[in-house]
């Protein structure tokens, strides 16, 4: 990887972050072209199409600060919304300081989008570093979750709960 990056004059030791931008709906302009127009400097920022609706932006960052990457994601979302009327969801990976960790940042951006869909349905920008316990729960196998629910909620146990307990449980899940 390092040899190839030198051949291509690709700096391999700078901070970069991966943004996975998922477009919702159909548009007159291709999603790839929208993002490429926003980041035309092909020596620093790389735009890659990974599907009809998914675009990856590998962006060089000045610092490894999470707030800076989230600010960049907000800027991307606002620009796509105002200029192209595009509704997008953005998964943000962690900032990496070398080229070989870009794949990890991409996977984190994917996980952020998936977990965000489940736990933060109202947010359109989800950062991997801010997923908290949702990231842990998301990684559990479905069968393990089902076993846990069957142990906790035995048959008929829901019928024994009074109205106040049900309201409390509802409020807990809403928060």
pLDDT tens digits along 46-100: 999 998 899 999 999 987 788 999 999 999 999 999 999 999 999 999 999 998 8
User: What does the pLDDT look like over 127-159, one tens digit per residue?
Assistant: 999 998 888 888 889 899 888 878 877 777 777
Q: What is the DSSP string of 90-142?
A: EEE---BSSGGGHHHHHHHHHHHHHHHHHH-TT-SEEEGGG-THHHHHHTS-H
What's the predicted TM-score (pTM) here? 0.82
Distance (Å) of CA 59 to CA 50, 96, 134: 16, 11, 26
């Amino acid at each position: 990887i390092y040899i190839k990056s030198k051949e291509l004059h690709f700096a391999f030791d700078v901070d970069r972050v991966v943004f996975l931008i998922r477009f919702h709906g159909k548009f007159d302009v291709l999603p790839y072209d929208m993002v490429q127009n926003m980041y035309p400097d092909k020596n620093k920022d790389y735009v890659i199409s990974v599907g009809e609706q998914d675009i990856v932006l590998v962006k060089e960052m000045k610092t490894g600060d999470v707030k800076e990457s989230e600010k960049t994601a907000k800027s991307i979302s606002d620009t796509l919304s105002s200029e192209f009327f595009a509704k997008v969801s953005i998964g943000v990976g962690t900032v990496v300081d070398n080229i070989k960790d870009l794949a990890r940042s991409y996977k984190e951006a994917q996980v952020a989008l998936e977990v965000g869909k489940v736990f933060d349905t109202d947010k359109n920008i989800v950062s991997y570093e801010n997923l908290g316990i949702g990231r842990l729960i998301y990684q559990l196998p479905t069968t393990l979750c089902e076993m846990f629910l069957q142990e906790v909620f035995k048959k008929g146990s829901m019928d024994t709960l009074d109205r106040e307990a049900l309201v409390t449980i509802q409020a807990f899940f809403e928060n």
